[in-house]
Amino acid sequence: MTAAREGDPEARAREICLRLLSSSPRTRAQLADALHRKQIPGDVAERVLGRFTDVGLIDDEAFAQAWVQSRHTGRGLAKRALAAELRRRGVPDEAVNDAVETLDPAQEEQTARALVARKLPATRGADPAKRMRRLVGMLARKGYSPGLSYRVVKEALSEEGTDPETLPTPPD
């Protein structure tokens, strides 16, 4: 019988962490929560998490960098939404800030334009004000600033032939 099954809490903690890490990368906070739920004593959890961090199995900075690139590319999320997701996963603020700052504002704007271009055809036939609200709302839910969202949508609608004078003005 393994030490983990015989009641060695440190062996159980290592086994839990390795199992979780084998399925996907995790933050230190996520692993700490899992160990807490499995009733691993706090001092044992800290010892195991510390050792995993020392050997590089837990790396919140690398996790944050990979998360930002993956979620920005895959889902089109902006810095604000990415930072919120990372904080919910327990990534330290400094690592969050470093990771989201790797996104270039031009890259973020380009992604916003691509999202609008993809959604624009589905709004054809609707009132211009309604189209504006839907598209700006979609960008807002993905964490884009109101100013950038409004500008990108207005430009896309103008390029399509919608008279900019018929579009609502952004709220102050």
What is the pTM (predicted TM-score) of this model? 0.79
136 to 70, 76, 112, 141, 142: CA distances (angstroms): 23, 14, 10, 9, 10
What string of DSSP letters covers 124-156? TTS-HHHHHHHHHHHHHHTT--HHHHHHHHHHH
In this prediction, residues 35-52 reach a mean pLDDT of: 95
User: How much of the chain exceeds pLDDT 70, in percent?
Assistant: 91
| pLDDT for residue 117 is more than 60 | yes
Closest CA to 76 of 39, 47, 44, 116: 116
84 to 21, 31, 68, 74, 115: CA distances (angstroms): 22, 19, 11, 17, 20
Q: Among 12-21, 139-148, 162-171, which is the least confidently predicted range? A: 162-171
- CA–CA separation, 112 vs 72, rounded Å? 10
- CA–CA separation, 147 vs 167, rounded Å? 15
Residue 100's H or E segment, with its range, is: helix 93-100
Q: Give the model's pLDDT for residue 96.
A: 96
- CA–CA separation, 80 vs 143, rounded Å? 5
In tens, the pLDDT along 46-94 reads 999 999 999 999 999 999 999 999 999 899 999 999 999 999 999 999 9
Task: Identify the band that residue 169 occupies on the pLDDT scale cut at 50, 70 and 90.
Answer: low
